[in-house]
């Protein structure tokens, strides 16, 4: 199942790249620029733009879920982990948005309503808002784990297939960050630290 989800995400990046290439247009002679997209997008590598436009909504949705953890997570250890990750994700999101703007890409969410691997969906957020206790904790950990794992994989794909130096550099940074973030989640689930009465239990059917 996990292999199929990963393949689906990588396939999505390929499809988005193909669509972007198919949608490129050379400005007609005598025509003026119609906004930043018309002025800059033709020089942007489609794989780079596909990655940026996928990562932004993935991070945006994850940040919303992590915000909910400040109130709804059951223990201080889980809340602290979520707060640290939320700060890191927000900083990453700011970098991605800045990169998007410099690339001249539209600021619309091209993936709204799509149920993609690693994406915290609108349904997930509705469930999170109504869930309490262990049910919320379980949803938080499983969805954020999926987000971290899948965004790491698609970013690794960008480092291999992308062309823009700044975009691939950010993707490499993200791959490194995801490794550390997943390691922190593993510690959260398994570490029996002396100052924590009991380690948080990751769902048995969703190992990190």
Compute the C-alpha angle 32/34/36, nearest 5°.
115
Global pTM reads 0.78
For residue 198, pLDDT over 60 is answered with no
- Tell me the average pLDDT across 18-44: 44
Where in 11-154 does DSSP place strands (E)? none
CA dihedral 171, 173, 175, 179 (to 10 degrees): -170
For residue 162, pLDDT over 70 is answered with yes
Rounded Cα distance between 132 and 144, Å, is: 17
Taking alpha carbons only, the member of 19, 22, 45 closest to residue 164 is 45
Q: How many helices (H) and strands (E) would you count in the chain?
A: 7, 0
The better pLDDT of the pair 87, 111 is held by 87
All domains in the chain, ordered by first residue:
46-190 (1.20.1260.10)
Taking alpha carbons only, the member of 143, 176, 172, 137 closest to residue 157 is 172
- Tell me the average pLDDT across 186-207: 66
For residue 147, pLDDT over 60 is answered with yes
Task: Return left, alpha or beta for 117; rule: phi > 0 is left, psi -120 to 50 is alpha, else beta.
Answer: beta
Would you say the C-alpha torsion 82, 85, 91, 97 has a positive or negative sign? negative
**Is the Cβ–Cβ distance between 62 and 146 less than 8 Å?**
no
What share of the chain has pLDDT > 70, as a percent? 68
Taking alpha carbons only, the member of 61, 68, 69, 63 closest to residue 123 is 61
């Amino acid at each position: 199942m996990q292999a199929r989800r990963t393949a689906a995400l990588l396939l999505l990046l390929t499809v988005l790249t193909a669509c972007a290439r198919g949608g490129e247009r050379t400005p007609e002679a005598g025509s003026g620029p119609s906004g930043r997209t018309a002025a800059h997008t033709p020089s942007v590598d489609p794989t780079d733009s596909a990655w940026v436009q996928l990562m932004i909504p993935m991070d945006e949705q994850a940040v919303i879920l992590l915000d909910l953890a400040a109130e709804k997570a059951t223990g201080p250890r889980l809340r602290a982990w979520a707060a640290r990750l939320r700060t890191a994700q927000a900083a990453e999101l700011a970098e991605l948005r800045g990169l998007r703007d410099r690339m001249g890409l539209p600021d619309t969410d091209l993936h709204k309503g799509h149920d993609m691997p690693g994406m915290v969906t609108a349904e997930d957020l509705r469930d999170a808002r109504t869930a309490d206790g262990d049910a919320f904790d379980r949803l938080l950990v499983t969805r954020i784990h999926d987000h971290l794992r899948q965004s790491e994989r698609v970013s690794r794909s960008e480092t291999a297939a992308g062309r823009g130096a700044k975009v691939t550099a950010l993707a490499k940074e993200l791959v490194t960050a995801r490794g550390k973030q997943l390691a922190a989640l593993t510690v959260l689930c398994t570490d029996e630290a002396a100052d924590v009465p009991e380690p948080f239990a990751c769902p048995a059917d969703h190992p990190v």
